[in-house]
Structure 1
C-alpha cells in the first residue's frame, strides 16, 4: 500500500475511533449527565497522562479535591480508575526507560518508608483471612493497594525541583476550587466544599494553607503569583473556619507550633505568622463566621465521635493482636455496644454504622498494632525525608527549596494531626502528600552532589 493510502487509512481509523468514543460519551450523558461528564474528564485525563506522567499526577492531585466528579462508588469510582491510569502510564514509562528506573530506585532513596508501605499493604491483604467480613477486607485492601502505588508513581513523576513547585501549586489550586465550591453552596451553613465533608475539607484546607505559606515566602515580592498565593490563603482560611471543624482548628494550631519548633532559620517568621493567625482567626470567628459554624464550635453536644472511640477501644481490647480485618470496624462495632457502657449516640453504631472518626484508632482496631506501626513508619519516614531534604538544600545554599521542603513536612504534620478526628486512611491526597518527600529527598541529594562538584 502506498504511503498516501496508508495515511488515509490511519486518518479514517482515527476518525472512526473518535466518533465511536464520542457516541459512547453521548450515550453515557443521555443515561446520566454526570456519567457523561465523568467520561469526558476521563478521556481528557487519560490523554494527558499518556502524554506526560508528571502532568497526569498534577491533574490527579487537582481532581482529588473534587469528589463531586465521582460518578461511581465502591471499587469503580472515577478517581480509582484515574489512579489506575496513572499507574499504568508509569509502568509503561519504566518498561521503556530502564536507566531512569535503576537510577532513581524508591527503595534506595527511602528504604524504611518503602518497607513500611509494603508491610502495611501486605498486612491489610492478609487480614482478609481472619476478618469477620472477608469481602469487605479485600475491597478495603484493594483501596490501600491503589494508594500505595502512588509512591513509585510520584517518585517517577517528580524528576526536577520545578515539579515539586508544580505539585504544591496543583494542591493549592485544588483546595481553592474546593473552598470556593463550598463558599458558593454553604448558604450560611457549615462549609463542606468539593470534598463533601466538613472535617475532611478542613483538614485538607489546613494542609493546603501550609503549602501555600511556603509558596508565599519564596515567591518574589510584588509578583503577580505571590499576590495570587496570598488571595488563595485568604480564601482557604475563610473556608476553613466556615467548616466549623474542631479538628481543623486543632490541626492549624499544631502546624503553627510545629513551624516554630522545626522552623530552622525561618523560626522568627514562623513566630510572626503564628501571632498574626492567632489574632485574625478569633477576629473572623467572632465577627464574620456563619452562625452554624460558630454554634458547632461552641456546642458541647455529642456528635457520636466519643461513643465511636469508646467502642473502638473496646474492640481493640477484644482483638489486641490481629484486629478485626481491614474495613471491618462498621461491620463489627455493634458487637461492642453493651460492653462500652452508656452511649449517647448508639444510632451511629447500630442504625447507621459509622467509621471510627479517628484514623489511628481505626487502623488499630482493624489491623492491630502491626498495622498501626506500619502506618506510623510511613508517616514519620515521610516527614523525616522532607526535613532531611530541607537541610540538604539549605546547606547547599538553596534556601527557597529548603523552605518548600519544610512546608511539605509541616503540611503532613497538619494533615496527620487532623486525622485524629476523621477516618482518613483511604484519602488519595494523604497518600499523594506522603509520597512526595522520598522523591524530594532524592532530588536534594542529587542537587547537593551537583553543587559540590
Structure 2
C-alpha cells in the first residue's frame, strides 16, 4: 500500500504521463490509485480514527448536492468522478503515514518531487523552455505541466514543501544533510522564479510562525516587517502588493462576487465548479471559492476538515509529558514534536498561499492533509495520552467558527473595496 500511494504522489506531482510521448492516453494515474486502494481495502492498517475520514466524504456529498440544487443532476456524477479520487487518495495516504519513519519518507518524496519541478523551472528560466516542452509563462514566470501549469500553483507546492526540506536537512546525517538543505535552497529559488506574491507571503508566514514558536510574537512581528521589506526587493510583483493595483483589485472584485453568490445561494452555493459561470475571473481565494460554490453547509464542512489538521499538530506540540528515564523514548517524543511542527508549518504555508488562489479541490492539499491525519493517528498509538478527536465531542464549534470566518471575509472585502 505505502509504495503504491507514494508512486501515486510522484505521478501526481512530476506528471511524466503529461509530456512523455506515448503516455498521453494511458491511464497510469487512475490505475496506480486503484491498485493502492485495493491494497488499502485488504490491509489491516486501514483506519478511520480521525474526523477527517468522515468529513471528506461528507464534503464530496455536499459537492454533489450543490450541483443538484442548482438544477444539474448529472453534475453530481461529474463531481463524484472528479473529487472521488481525491477522497480515495486521502484515505490510502492517511492510513499509510502511520509511523514516524513513513512520515519522514513521505516528506522526502514530496521534497524530491518539488525539487524536480524547481530544476525544471531553473532550466526554463535560462533556456526559455523546460524539458517538458513548456515555455515560460507571460512575464517570464516559470510553470510546469498539468495541475502546475500556473506559476502560483508551483509556488504553493514549493512553499508547502519548504519546511519539510529544512526539517530533513536538520535531521539528516552524512551525505544526505547537504542534499536536503540544497533542496530547500532550490525550492526558495524556485519560489523567486515563480514570482508569486502568494508564495512569497507564504514563506514569510512560515518563517514568522516558526520564530513565534521559538522566540515569541514580538520578535516574530519585527522580523516579519523586515522580511516583507526584503521580499519587496526580491520580487518585482511584491511592489504591487496594494488593493488598488490592477491585479489585486481584480482579486478583490472576485472575492466580492463570491460573497454575492453566497448571499444569493446561502445553503449550497452556486454549485461546485460554477464560479466562473457567474464571474469572469475565478475566486482567487480557496475559502471564498468553497463558500460561493457550496454555501454555508459546504464551508462549515471544509473548514472543519482544514481546522482539525491544524488542531491535531498543535495538540502534539503543546502536549506536556512527564519525562521518563529511557533516552530512546524521550528521543522518540522529541521527533514526534518536530514532525508535528514541520507539518504545522507546511499547513501554514499551504493555506497562506491558498488564501490567494482558487485551489480548494487541489489533490496536493489533500495529500498533505492526509499526512497530517496519519501522523496524528500514529502518534496516538505511540502516546495514548494524546486526546482522541471526535466530531461528536465539540464538532459543533465549527459552525460558529465558520460564521465568524464568513463575517471576517465580508469585513475584509468591504475594507479592501474602500481602498481601490
Q: Same-fold call, TM > 0.5?
A: yes
Shift of residue 276, structure 1, vs aligned partner: 8.8
The answer as to whether partners of 1:199 and 1:245 remain within 8 angstroms in 2 is yes
SS state at 1:65 partner: helix
Spell out, residue by residue over 1:365-388, the C-alpha distance to the aligned partner (whole angstroms, 9 max, x if none): 111011011111111111222233
With over 3 angstroms needed to count, the CA separation of the structure-2 counterparts of 1:132 and 1:356, relative to structure 1, is farther
Q: 2:312 aligns with which of 372, 385, 405?
A: 385
Identify the residue that residue 93 of structure 2 maps to in structure 1. 154
Report deviation, 1:159. Answer: 3.7
Residues in 2 aligned to 1:224 and 1:130: alpha-carbon distance in whole angstroms: 57
Task: Work out the CA distance in 1 between the residues paired with 2:228 and 2:114.
Answer: 19
Q: Equivalences for 1:21-420 in 2 at 5 Å?
A: 53-67=1-15, 69-70=17-18, 78-91=28-41, 93-94=42-43, 97=44, 100-101=45-46, 105-106=47-48, 109-110=49-50, 112-186=51-125, 187=128, 189-193=140-144, 195-220=148-173, 223-261=174-212, 263=213, 267-268=214-215, 286=233, 294=236, 296-299=237-240, 300-302=245-247, 304-331=250-277, 333-334=278-279, 349=280, 354-391=281-318, 397=330, 398-420=333-355
| Structure 1 spans left out of the alignment, 5+ residues | 1-52, 335-348
8 Å contact from structure 2 (residues 5, 36) kept in 1: yes
Q: Give the CA deviation at 1:426.
A: 2.1
**Any conservation in 2 of the 1:120–1:374 contact (CA below 8 Å)?**
yes
Whether the 8 Å contact between 1:386 and 1:409 is mirrored in structure 2 is yes
Task: Say if 1:164 and 1:275 are closer, same or farther in 2 by CA, change over 3 A.
Answer: farther
Shift of 1:326: 1.4
1:103-135 residue CA offsets vs partner (Å, 9 max, x unmatched)? xx32xx32x333322321221122222125444
Is 2:232–2:239's contact at 8 Å kept on the other side of the alignment?
no
> CA RMSD, aligned part only?
3.3
1:427 is matched with 362
Of stretches 168-177 and 131-140 in structure 1, the one that deviates more from structure 2 is: 131-140
Distance apart, 1:232 and its partner CA:
0.6
The CA deviation at 1:207 is 0.7
What are structure 2's unaligned runs of at least 5 residues? Answer: 129-135, 323-328, 386-420
Instruction: Choose 1 or 2 for highest CA Rg.
Output: 1
Return the structure number with greater helix share. 1
* Deviation per residue, 1:168-219 (Å, 9 max, x gap): 0001001100111111113482122452211111111111001112222322
* Per-residue CA distance 1:235-294 (angstroms, 9 max, x = gap): 100110121111112212222222234x3xxx14999999999878866874xx6xxx52
**CA positional deviation for 1:394:** 7.0
User: 1:116 and 1:226, CA in 2 relative to 1: closer, same or farther beyond 3 A?
Assistant: same
Partners of 1:393 and 1:58 lie apart in 2 by 33
* C-alpha distance in structure 2 between counterparts of 1:273 and 1:149, whole Å: 39
Deviates more, 1:399-408 or 1:184-193: 184-193
Q: 1:273 to 1:204 in 2, by over 3 A?
A: farther
TM-score by length of 1: 0.70
Distance 1:77 1:327, change over 3 A: farther
Alignment check: 8 A CA contact 1:137 1:328 kept: no
When normalised by structure 2's length, the TM-score is 0.75
Are positions 1:445 and 2:384 aligned together?
no
How far did 1:231 drift?
0.5
The question of whether the paired residues in 2 share the 8 Å contact of 1:62 and 1:173 is answered with no
